Amino acid sequence: MKVILKKDVYNLGRSGEIKTVKDGYARNFLMPRGLVELATEGSLRAWKNSAEKRAKRVAAEDAGLKELAKRLSAITLSFSRPVSDDGVMYGSVAKSDIIKNLAAADIEIDKDMIRLPASIKAVGTVEVEIALKPDIAAKIKVAVSAQSK
Contacts of 43 (CB under 8 A, 6+ apart): 4, 37
Domain boundaries, the chain: 2-49, 68-146
Percent of the chain's residues with pLDDT above 70: 99
Closest by CA position to 33, among listed 17, 52, 10 = 10
Res 134: pLDDT? 79
Q: What pTM was computed for the model?
A: 0.70
pLDDT at 26 over 90: yes
Closest by CA position to 37, among listed 56, 21, 51, 58 = 21
Give the span between the Cα atoms of 118 and 147, in whole angstroms: 21
Domain 68-146 has CATH 3.10.430.100: yes
Give the span between the Cα atoms of 117 and 67, in whole angstroms: 26
Give the span between the Cα atoms of 77 and 143, in whole angstroms: 6
pLDDT at 149 over 80: no
Kindly report the CATH number that applies to the domain delimited by 2-49: 3.40.5.10
User: Which residues on adjacent β-strands are paired with residue 36?
Assistant: 5
pLDDT at 145 over 70: yes
Tell me, what amino acid is at 114?
A: I
* Average pLDDT of span 104-117: 89
Per-chain mean pLDDT for the chain: 89
For residue 68, the tally of other CB atoms under 10 A from its CB is 17
| Fold agreement (2-49, 68-146) | no
Question: pLDDT digit string (tens) for 31-82?
Answer: 999 999 999 999 888 888 888 888 888 889 889 999 999 999 998 999 999 9
